[in-house]
Each structure stands twice: as C-alpha cells, then as structure tokens.
Amino acid sequence: MSINQIIGQHMFIGIQGHSLTADEKKFIVEQNIGGICLFGRNVAEPKQVHDLCAEIQSLRHRQADKAPLFIGIDMEGGRVHRLKAPFTVWPPLRKLGDLDAPTVSFHFANRMGMEMKAVGINLDFAPSVDVFTNAANTVIGDRSISSDPESVARHASALVRGYIKAEILTCAKHFPGHGNTIVDSHYDLPVENTDLESLEKCELIPFKKAFKSRVDMVMTSHIMFPKIDPDWPVTLSETFIQKIIREELRYKGMVITDDLGMKAMADHYGVEEIPVRALKAGVDLLLYCNEFDVPPIAIEAILGATAQGTLDKAQLEQSHRRILDLKKTKIPHPDPLDMSEVIKIVGHADHIKIATAIANGVTPDGLLPE
C-alpha cells in the first residue's frame, strides 16, 4: 500500500451534481478516496440518490483498498435535512427534547436510517449533541435537543442506537459543543472563554454518553478555546483530540473534522497547512464538502509533510487500519437495495405518521420499546 493510497482513505469529499463526472470517478479511484459527502445539490429523488450511491460504491472494486466508501449526509431533521419528500420529512431535534421520550428518539433515528440505508447512504452526520446554553445562538437553535445536558445525553444515546439498528454509521457533533457560540464557523472563527472544568460539567456530558453508546465517529468543531488550547482551534488541536478525546474520554472510534472549507479554517490557516495540522493533531478523516479543487492540494501537502518527516507515517498507517476496520465491520452491505424494495421503505406511511406526531408535539401511538 503506497503512502498516496493511505492518504486517500483519510479523505472525505463532496461532489458536484446528481451523478459523478468522469474526472470525479478518476480521482476517487486513483487516489483511493475514503468517503463522499452528499448535499442538496446531489439529491433529486429516491431513484437518482439510489443510482448515485450505486455508482459511487461500484468504484470500490477499482480502488487499492477494495473497501466500501463512506457515503455520508447531513440528516438531523428540521432545517438540516438533505433528503426531501417523498423521503419522510422529520422535525428538528428540539421536538424530541420537548417530548422527552427516548423511545420516540430511538424510532425517529431508526426509521430515518432505514430510508437512508435503502438508497445506499451508510453514514449520517448526526446526532447533534450540542447543549443549547445560549438563547442568542441561532447557529444551533432547534438543532439542539435541549438546554439540559442530561436530557441531551439520554436522547443522544437513543438516537445513536436507533441509527445503529438501521445499519447507519453515526457521528456525534460538534465536539466539544457548539451550543453557546453566536459566531457561525461557516463565516468566522468562534472564540469561547470556557475552561475544561466547565465543559465537563455541561457540554461533554452528552458526548460521554454517545461514546458509551458506541457512536462510530465524533466531529470536531472549528472553535477556539484559549483557556484550554491557546494556539489551535479544536479541529487542529492535539490537546482536544489526543488528550481529551483519546486519553481522558478513552474514545476509540473515528475522529472526523467539520468541513475544512469553512471560513473559520480557510480565513485563518493556509490551505496546505490545514490538513497536515489536523492529521498531526490526531483526526482520522478530513472533510472537504464544497471546495472541489482543494482535496488534490491537501493530498500533495500531506505527501510532502510525510516525506519531510513533519507528519508521522506510522500514525497515518494506524489511522488507515482503524478506518478499514470500521468499514469491514460496520458496512457489510454497501450497495443500495433494489428499487422495488426502496419504494416500499422511503416515505412509508408509518414513518410519516411518527414524524407528523413528533412535529405536533404528540407521542406517536404504537411504538414498541427498543
């Protein structure tokens, strides 16, 4: 396995349209790219999503690792909801917190996950386990389950279990918590003056619960916490990733960055510096959602850093093994179902009934215990 191919498995990239271009296929195959992130621009209707996922997964047979590709999407419910009708349209997580019935949260995630799995999506960048501690925070708002960390933790656990039962990989975000910030990291770098002791009393509680529930990934936030690491934001911080996530919280799953094209990163750090620093800090997966010309630059920068010895090749190899182990154990059936099955699952009447009840603040009837 060449160092190029090892690096490629760490890359999670966006694509431009409803199907892959010839250049995208070539890049994914030759660079051994590990994952694809779908956005609204990539989604039309169920058959198109199904065909796109099948097309993406077909490339694994021509890649060096022959491993399934991660196919991820942001499906939280509410305003972060890439799959539109006839997929079931789910309400925001705040509705689950208001109902405060974890069994409902389990079924919410499980039914949503069944629809994603049917069309070939295997990873949801969810749940958001941010504690809503600042009423002025419109970045998170109703994407948060609650302002009570214990409530967020209970529902986070139920959501993770629901997705897992549907064979959907899960990703707790945005570590160590985005619930207090009023600055949107899409546009600038938020700075929080919270210390670690305060985070442990509030924001970290849901993450600890999600970790115990075997969440597959944790997504780092692009936030500066000067009292914890005066030099680097979380995504680029060894203090947060190595010391807190790995050592203190003993998390053994994947660490993935938030989108590295956000201005919180791009306006403050060099395009070649970002991926090298993130990997050095200890992340496993680098997420590039919208900057289609940047992943090749990032790969070259990582190659150069390993050649110079500023980035440890052994660390990359260890992370590479962790990625492949996760794919082997958690994506046993990477291809989408046949369309004859998809149409029975997507927008199922039972799913719509559950989603509608939750949206109306009512506990759905007839849900079996987990």
List the catalytic residues: 186, 258
**Residue corresponding to tokens 């203090």:** 239
- Residue 80: φ, ψ to 5°: -105, 90
Alpha helices in the chain (DSSP H): 3-9, 22-30, 46-58, 93-99, 102-119, 149-165, 196-201, 204-212, 238, 263-266, 273-281, 294-308, 313-330, 339-345, 349-359
For residue 42, give Cα distances in angstroms to 38, 39, 53, 109: 6, 5, 10, 22
User: Encoding tokens for residue 57?
Assistant: 């997964």
Q: How far apart are CA 242 and CA 318, in angstroms?
A: 14
Burial class (CB in 10 A: 0-12, 13-18, 19+), 316: buried
Residue partners of 182: CB distance under 8 A and separation at least 6: 134, 136, 137, 138, 139, 190
Contact 128, 173 (CB under 8 A): yes
Q: How far apart are CA 345 and CA 121, in angstroms?
A: 14
